[in-house]
Amino acid sequence: MNIRNPDLEGTMPVIDIRRTHKSSVKSAKAAVERVAKAIAKEYGIDHHWTGDDLHFDRTGVKGYIKVAKNDVHVRVELGFLMGALKPVIEREIERRLDEYVA
């Protein structure tokens, strides 16, 4: 028997992280760019800037990093297969943010 839960259909695992910073927006964006380049090199994720928002995507992963005056907000939506790696990916993002942005 196939039981469907309409409340769960279409949901994706999400990583949502915020980090405060005391840098200028320009400095914070430069730090985020270093994080994005490191992750892009390691995981093959393309990224581009729209204003103060860095957008990224690849098969199974999409999201953004918003750089504001006092904080950085990372939101990542993971596809079904990448969802199994959520804890690993989340730790890696946090580590890179702590290294470059904090």
The CATH number assigned to the domain holding 60 equals 3.30.310.80
Between the CA of residue 101 and those of 3, 17, 41, 52, 98, what are the distances in Å? 45, 13, 19, 15, 6
Strands (E), 1-90: 14-20, 46-50, 53-58, 61-67, 71-78
Domain coverage including residue 74: 14-100
**Chain centroid offset of residue 40 CA:** 11
Domain count within the chain: 1
Question: What digits encode the pLDDT tens for the residues 7-57?
Answer: 444 578 999 999 999 999 999 999 999 888 888 887 788 899 999 999 999
% of the chain beyond a pLDDT of 70: 90
In this prediction, residue 1 carries a pLDDT of 44
* Residue 36 located in a structural domain: yes
In this prediction, residue 10 carries a pLDDT of 56
Could you give the CA distance from residue 68 to residue 63 in angstroms, rounded to a whole number? 16
58 has a pLDDT exceeding 70:
yes
* Residue 9 located in a structural domain: no
Count of Cβ atoms closer than 10 Å to residue 29 Cβ: 19
* Residue 55 located in a structural domain: yes
2 has a pLDDT exceeding 80:
no
